[in-house]
Amino acid sequence: MSIRERLSGNEAVAYAMRQINPDVFAAFPITPSTEIPQYFAQYVANGQVDTEYVTVESEHSSMSTCIGAEATGCRAVTATSSCGLAFMYELLYVAASSRLPVTLACVNRALTGPININNDHSDSMGARDTGWIQLYAENNQEAYDNYLQAMRIAETPDVRLPIMVCQDGFITSHAVENILIEEDEAVKAFVGEYHPEHALLGRETPLAVGPYDISPYYMEHKVQQAEAMKNAKRAVLDVAADFEKTFGRKYGFFEEYCMEDAEVALVLIGSTAGTAKACIDQLRAAGRKVGLIKIRVFRPFPGEELAQALSHVKAVAVMDKSEGFSACGGPLYAETCAACYDLPERPVLVNIVYGLGGRDVATEDIARVYDHLFLLTRNGGQGPKYIHMGQRSSEAEVL
Amino acid sequence: MAYNHKKELSKPERFVGGHRLCAGCGAGLVCRGMLRALDEGDKAVVCNATSCLEVSSFLYPYTAWEDSYIHSAFENAAATCGGVEAAYNVLKRRGKLDDTYKFLAIGGDGGTYDIGFQSLSGAMERGHDMVYFCYDNEAYMNTGIQRSSSTPRFATATTTPVGSVSAGKKQNKKDLTEIMAAHHIPYVAQTTFLGNFKDFHEKAHRAIYTEGAAFVNVMSPCPRGWQYSPELLPEICKMAVETCVWPLYEVIDGKWHLSYMPRKKLPVTEFMKLQGRFKHCFKPGNEWTLEAAQQYVDEKWEQLLEHCGQRA
């Protein structure tokens, strides 16, 4: 039986961790993810888990600890945000290329500088090419549910890649919502035990991890890694199907909201989807055909599926909550454009960079984006493609 | 039990031939020696920082290591080792593992004194049951002999070359062994390769079988960086000890013990003259470098004697 409980996003993730009782937790605080190791410390102190709780001196060491523990044959977890994730950068690659399915709760926060503690996606978007699977949540329920599914996806034998379970700093991490949580035994049964084929300890033969790899082998290893990420697509769907069967909540690569007959649509990630849905409900009531695609899985990127879902739409605004400094749009925009390129008839695509450093986005802002999209359907897609929303200093303000 | 060199050397090798380390390199001696110090039947996991040792001993698809081994990055051998040890503890606690394992981190001075210093300090402070071995060859040898904080004053390195206004490295060597002692961990030692390896072996064994965090700093000359002929390795180590450039000592539960008192402390030039990296110090006009080097060694030696209660 599911239980209704009021939990913040951080508490929901920590609660899921308690239920799973991972082998090793490497803990280092950074706003806004700090509460996760704090809640967990109390579980350790109360004897509610028997996890080895390692209070390291930096995020660099928390990821290093996870790498060592995971190679040993254990489930290793950590949580971080922003600069903490950036500090792990080199080790993110080590975890992925060593095929160690570490689970990282990423509470998204803007990257410094100037230093800013509020939400955007620049931290995990910066890590998008490190070889990690990335799941994103709209709300506390999804943060909890994604966490319950994460290890099974990551540990799938033909995947074996680390996984980032992302949620929006403060917006979901600190906001308390009424969510459904599952019983401990049901969670344990769903997540299961971890028995990797190879490990540093407790196997007949010793194991060597992390070689110096020269040109005749390196590329084969990279291709295996790339194949693993492709395999992760199927694992995401398989685990989601079992999750739905077990707990009744449905997940996929992305959520489509009012897309069947949509003329214009948004593609975005995270909590802004809630705001967009409220706006869509208002506009639909007024007879306007607007829709939304909320990306849940950014790595592996569901390019074909997304293109298919957008194929009947006239104009699309891809909303990036991070600035990639590519001079031609944010990372979600680049991926979406690439995905749509092979469509026989492509929608007009524009990029809206928004909400950086926690700048608020309201339903009125979303409504203006839809107005702009309708304008593009009438003028043949004329105008700027790469727009920053709500710029007080912008002279040529589009939105 | 008294050290028996013949018996120790008759143990099966756990760091085997075929690796690509240079002739006359100290790193291989550290590896063979530290693994020999394990009691037979005890398994180990070796956690190696990126280094000459790593790229020479685990070149895919070959490994020179008979025990489990993990290399992660340059700056995190200690934290990685802490993760392995934490995993061992939980597996033991949950009854998933019977065997006894020991956890040995190893890095060069670059990975230990410098870029891996934070990771080392953190792991030692947390008290993981592990030993960190530093094979200290006093420069970044893997990238081509750049200075480290362990490089002694006046040594040439490719980032501290000798020139018309330079007499080599400007700063004295960081005293990492003393810094580790200041962590108040149960065991800290300084050693090198002498005679029948008794000093090294006994310290490695004590470190491995002391519960909690331990640190062993091993002076490990590098023929390329120090510019000596490979067969001179034992002589250089001997002179490092006899001149008190590298004194042998232990700090056991906070108590300092001098392991060896030279009968007659030799001048530092006896150590320096064996190595090309100090060649310029012996040129006319550079006498001051030899005087400064001697003065520094004398001061450090006096301080050590005081720590060890060897002064009246």
- pTM for the model: 0.97
- What residues have CB less than 8 Å from A269, skipping those under 6 apart? A121, A136, A294, A295, A298, A321, A332
pLDDT at A397: 67
| CATH number of the domain where residue A33 is located | 3.40.50.970
Check whether A66 has a pLDDT greater than 60: yes
B127 touches chain A (CB under 8 A): no
Q: Residue B312: inside a domain, yes or no? A: no
B61 to A207: CB separation less than 8 angstroms, yes or no: no
List chain B residues with CB under 8 Å of A23: 87, 90-91, 94
* Chain-centroid distance, C-alpha B260: 17
Q: How confident is the model at residue A49 (pLDDT cuts 50, 70, 90)?
A: very high
A65 to B118: CB separation less than 8 angstroms, yes or no: no
Check whether A393 has a pLDDT greater than 80: no
Last residue of a domain, one of A247, A275, A301: A247
pLDDT per residue over B221-278, tens digit each? 999 999 999 999 999 999 999 999 999 999 999 999 999 999 999 999 999 999 999 9
B73 to A61: CB separation less than 8 angstroms, yes or no: no
Q: Average pLDDT for residues B47-68, to the nearest whole number?
A: 98
Q: Which of B59, B80, B87 sits opposite A23 (nearest CB)?
A: B87
Q: How confident is the model at residue B312 (pLDDT cuts 50, 70, 90)?
A: low
* Chain-centroid distance, C-alpha B200: 10
B60 to A213: CB separation less than 8 angstroms, yes or no: yes
Q: Residue B238: inside a domain, yes or no? A: yes
Domain that holds residue B133: 5-307
Are A222 and A274 members of one domain?
no
Are A293 and A227 members of one domain?
no
Are A378 and A263 members of one domain?
yes
Q: Tell me how far apart the alpha carbons of residues A274 and A167 are, in angstroms, rounded to a whole number.
A: 13
Check whether A128 has a pLDDT greater than 60: yes
Among B1-5, B117-121, B278-282, the least confident range: B1-5
Q: Residue B290: inside a domain, yes or no? A: yes
| CATH number of the domain where residue B78 is located | 3.40.50.970
Are A239 and A130 members of one domain?
yes
Check whether A382 has a pLDDT greater than 60: yes
pLDDT per residue over B277-292, tens digit each? 999 999 999 999 999 9
Residue A392 backbone class (left: φ over 0; alpha: ψ -120 to 50; beta: rest): alpha
Q: Residue A205: inside a domain, yes or no? A: yes
Kindly provide the b/e burial profile for residues A378-395, where b requires at least 16 CB atoms within 10 angstroms of the residue's own CB.
eeebeeeebbbbbeeeee
pLDDT per residue over B89-115, tens digit each? 999 999 999 989 999 999 999 999 999
Are A233 and A319 members of one domain?
no
Q: How far does the CA of residue A18 sit from the closest CA of chain B (Å)? A: 15
Q: Which of residues 227-286 of B touch A (CB under 8 A)?
A: none
Tokens (6 digits) for A210: 């992390």
pLDDT at A391: 83
B42 touches chain A (CB under 8 A): no
Check whether A124 has a pLDDT greater than 70: yes
Are A259 and A235 members of one domain?
no
- What residues have CB less than 8 Å from B69, skipping those under 6 apart? A200, A206, A207, A208, A209, B45, B46, B47, B48, B58, B63
Check whether A394 has a pLDDT greater than 70: no
When the pLDDT of each residue in chain A is averaged and rounded to a whole number, the result is 97
Q: How many domains does chain A have?
A: 2
Q: What is the DSSP letter of B111?
A: I
The proportion of chain A whose per-residue pLDDT surpasses 70, expressed as a percent, equals 99
Q: Residue A225: inside a domain, yes or no? A: yes
A72 to B81: CB separation less than 8 angstroms, yes or no: no
| CATH number of the domain where residue A277 is located | 3.40.50.920
Q: Residue A144: inside a domain, yes or no? A: yes
Q: Residue B241: inside a domain, yes or no? A: yes
A71 touches chain B (CB under 8 A): yes
List chain B residues with CB under 8 Å of A207: 68-69
Of A351, A345, A352, A342, the residue nearest A305 (C-alpha)? A342
Of B99, B110, B115, B108, the residue nearest B42 (C-alpha)? B99
pLDDT at A392: 80
Q: Residue B87: inside a domain, yes or no? A: yes
Are A196 and A263 members of one domain?
no
Q: Tell me how far apart the alpha carbons of residues B154 and A211 are, in angstroms, rounded to a whole number.
A: 35
Q: How far does the CA of residue B77 sit from the closest CA of chain A (Å)? A: 8
| ipTM above threshold 0.90 | yes
Domain that holds residue A373: 254-388
Are A187 and A123 members of one domain?
yes
Are A338 and A222 members of one domain?
no
Q: Which of B43, B83, B123 sits opposite A76 (nearest CB)?
A: B83
Are A221 and A150 members of one domain?
yes
A54 to B88: CB separation less than 8 angstroms, yes or no: no
The proportion of chain A whose per-residue pLDDT surpasses 90, expressed as a percent, equals 96
Q: Residue B110: inside a domain, yes or no? A: yes
Q: Average pLDDT for residues A19-37, to the nearest whole number?
A: 98
Q: Residue A399: inside a domain, yes or no? A: no
Check whether A395 has a pLDDT greater than 70: no
Residue A315 β-bridge partners: A264, A348
Q: Residue A199: inside a domain, yes or no? A: yes
Tokens (6 digits) for B53: 């040792």
Are A272 and A127 members of one domain?
no
Q: Tell me how far apart the alpha carbons of residues B10 and A214 are, in angstroms, rounded to a whole number.
A: 35
B142 touches chain A (CB under 8 A): no
Q: Residue A111: inside a domain, yes or no? A: yes
Q: How many domains does chain B have?
A: 1
For residue B105, the SS3 value is strand
Q: Residue A200: inside a domain, yes or no? A: yes
Q: Average pLDDT for residues A175-190, to the nearest whole number?
A: 98
Are A207 and A281 members of one domain?
no
Check whether B44 has a pLDDT greater than 90: yes
Q: Residue A393: inside a domain, yes or no? A: no
pLDDT at A399: 77
- What residues have CB less than 8 Å from B247, skipping those under 6 apart? B190, B241, B258, B260, B301, B304
List chain A residues with CB under 8 Å of B69: 200, 206-209
> Quick one: chain B helix, strand, coil %, rounded to 5?
40, 15, 45
B18 touches chain A (CB under 8 A): no
Q: How far does the CA of residue A163 sit from the closest CA of chain B (Å)? A: 18
* Interhelix angle A184-191/A140-155, nearest 10 degrees: 40
pLDDT per residue over A183-204, tens digit each? 999 999 999 999 999 999 988 8
Nearest chain B alpha carbon to A212: B59
Last residue of a domain, one of A216, A247, A278: A247
Q: How confident is the model at residue B191 (pLDDT cuts 50, 70, 90)?
A: very high
Handedness of CA A269, A273, A274, A276 (dihedral sign): positive
Nearest chain A alpha carbon to B89: A52
Q: Tell me how far apart the alpha carbons of residues A340 and A262 are, in angstroms, rounded to a whole number.
A: 17
Q: Which residue has the tokens 């975890």?
A: A95
Q: How far does the CA of residue B303 sit from the closest CA of chain A (Å)? A: 31
